[in-house]
Chains A and B, each alone.
Chain A
Amino acid sequence: MRRDDVRYAAVARDAGIRRISKLTWRAGAVGVACSALIAVAFGHHTAVQQPKTGNGNAGHPAIVIPAQPPAPAQGAGQVTSGAS
């Protein structure tokens, strides 16, 4: 009888370990999936080029867009941009 109790306890322990192991694997898999989803959802933000001005662009790996595009205006300008 005492031996049966021991066997029963060992079986119960093994079952518990398996259950915990399975839960751990599932939690890990869910974490990886969530990370991938977050990367897909927000990854494009890392590619946004922070506009800078002047020669601070020297090390930038792309031509940097302006902070804002030119706005329409009427009449003559204060200066002229043309070839020289």
Chain B
Amino acid sequence: MTTLAVATDTFSVFGTTATLLVGEPGTIAIARAIADAELAVVDLACSRFRPDSELSRLNAAAGAVTSVSELFAELVGAALRAARLTDGDVDPTCGRALARIGYDRDFALLQAAAPEARAGQSRARARRPGRVPGWRSVQLDRGRRLMQLSNGAQLDLGATAKAWAADRCAEIIAAETGSGVLVSLGGDIAAAGPPPADRDGAGGWGVRVTDDHAAGPEAPGQTVTIRSGGLATSSTTVRAWAVGGRRMHHIIDPATGEPARSCWRTVSVAAASCVDANTASTAAIIRGEAALRWLRDAGLPARLVRHDGAVETTGGWPHDPGPAGQT
């Protein structure tokens, strides 16, 4: 990469790592201040692990009509749109299914818990896995900002909220500073404003696409550049844990209420926004082999990695000779 110098800031948020890149180094401080403010309100709105969040209050309301903020309504609207566009494969009513398989606290705390304790929790909750209530169990009145969950639905916005927040931060930072910006929230990437140019006038933001966002820029994978929009990666290799000798991960198949059994270990998708990219990458993991045709028909650039490291690409994604390494 021969891109011009950009300023970088890395920090922790949402139990993962956030990175800001700005094309005009003098704007990094204001970019960070904007990101801090925006991410704080998103966390307060939709964290599943904060009892004071709007999402926790809604989940605890036992089906009662609940008043919500405009921000929360927007976040839920994005989750419902993702469900609609994927025929329910990316479903926000996976909260109870995630808790049932032990993911009921911040992931760092989940990893720190003793395996025996996790097994005990899981046995206690092991009540009939099955199809999740479904996104149509979520009633949202955007005008009056009222919500209601039916059929025992419990919300989890993990599939869309982080990506939505990346889009929002990138848009606001670019608008406020005039600088090009890339926001990465745990590998969910949004870019806005003018991208950095290299010496031949092309340029863009260099992104290493790999299984684990924390693996570093030299990890097995592929390097690409993006100039705008979003890029997101979903994988079953990360945010995984074992319960009673059984491997769990966080991508729930709504049809079974259990971790998706996919032919793909990792899927990366580029789209016009990060939330669209993450919607597609999550749906691709759940859809398995059928995802190839779906992504091609949609014209979405994507990189799909099988468990043996073999790589497939769609929609103009740069050719990757692979394999992408073993896990």
Contacts and interface: CB of A to CB of B under 8 A. Distances in A.
Interface of A: 51-58, 61-84
- Please list the 8 inter-chain residue pairs (A to B) with the smallest Cβ-Cβ separation, ordered nearest first: A84-B186, A77-B208, A83-B235, A76-B217, A69-B316, A70-B224, A64-B272, A82-B213
Given A54-B170, A68-B227, A76-B206, A81 B273 contact: no
A80 B224 CA distance: 10
A29 B280 CA distance: 46
A79 B16 CA distance: 14
A55 B316 contact: no
Given A73-B225, A80-B215, A82-B266, 12 more contacts: A54-B167, A55-B74, A63-B279, A70-B207, A70-B224, A71-B204, A73-B224, A74-B223, A76-B206, A77-B223, A79-B184, A82-B209
B128 to A, nearest CB: 28
B223 A82 contact: no
B192 A57 contact: no
Given A71-B202, A81-B189, A82-B219, A64 B273 contact: yes
Contacts of B21: 78-79
B30 to A, nearest CB: 19
Given A58-B81, A69-B270, A76-B1, A81 B280 contact: no
Contacts of B233: 81-83
B190 interface: yes
Contact of B209 (A65, A67, A68, A81): A81
B154 interface: no
Given A58-B77, A79-B207, A70 B271 contact: no
B244 to A, nearest CB: 23
Interface of B: 1, 3, 6, 8, 16-17, 19, 21, 74, 77-78, 81, 85, 162, 164, 167-168, 170-171, 182, 184-192, 202, 204-219, 221, 223-239, 266, 268, 270-273, 275-276, 279-280, 298-301, 315-319
A74 B1 CA distance: 6
Contacts of B171: 53-55
B85 to A, nearest CB: 6
A82 B214 contact: yes
A83 B316 CA distance: 22
7 contacts: A55-B168, A58-B77, A69-B301, A72-B318, A77-B206, A81-B187, A82-B209
A76 B218 contact: yes
Contacts of A84: 16-17, 162, 185-188, 212-214, 238-239
Contact of B232 (A61, A69, A78, A81): A81
Contacts of A75: 1, 206, 223
Nearest to B237: A83
Contact of B213 (A54, A58, A74, A83): A83
A58 B185 CA distance: 20
